[in-house]
Amino acid sequence: MNIALIAHDKKKSDMIQFAIAYRDLLADHTLYATGTTGLRVKEATGLPIHRFQSGPLGGDQQIGAMIADNAMDLVLFFRDPLTAQPHEPDVSALIRLCDVYAIPLATNMGTAEILVRNLNKGTFDFRDVAKNGGTHETT
């Protein structure tokens, strides 16, 4: 599965702790991340990570493009709800794309843990169907 890792500045340490704790599970998947988050997770875990631009410089949109192309399976986006983000429209667009394309999205560590613990239990088999000919319909 293709998994995106994104974290606002005040949540980067949470993402690093999470990635360390679930390193073995994450190692079985292809990881993508926005710039600084990806660098810090890679340094802490040694996991290979494809790094995009920083979120405010377009990284959120690059991940969004993968979602729109049905090339992302799971998004772990540790958001800071207490700090205004200068790129909030990009954040909202990314979350909207996850909803439009039925991509599982965790915006906090608790939800991320539930999703990651289920990676190898068949819970995400629907993503294989979506990638192999499933269609997206709009209303």
Which pLDDT belongs to residue 56? 83
Of 83, 92, 29, nearest in space to 60 by CA: 92
Q: What is the pLDDT of residues 4-50, one digit of tens each?
A: 999 999 999 999 999 999 999 999 999 999 999 999 999 999 999 99
Query: Is 90 tagged catalytic?
Result: no
Residue 137 forms part of a structural domain: no
Which pLDDT belongs to residue 135? 53
DSSP, res 21 = H
The domain that contains 65 carries what CATH number? Answer: 3.40.50.1380
pTM for the structure as a whole:
0.90
Sheet order of strands, 105-106 included: 49-51, 30-33, 2-7, 74-78, 105-106
Q: What is the pLDDT of residues 103-118, one digit of tens each?
A: 999 999 999 999 999 9
Q: Find the catalytic residue in 60, 80, 125, 128.
A: 60
Binding residue ranges for substrate: 8, 12, 34-37, 54-55, 87
Residue 93 forms part of a structural domain: yes
Which pLDDT belongs to residue 116? 96
Domain coverage including residue 26: 6-104+111-129
Residue 135 forms part of a structural domain: no
Q: Report how many domains make up the chain.
A: 1
Residue 94 forms part of a structural domain: yes
- Judged against a pLDDT cut of 80, whether residue 82 lies above it is answered with yes
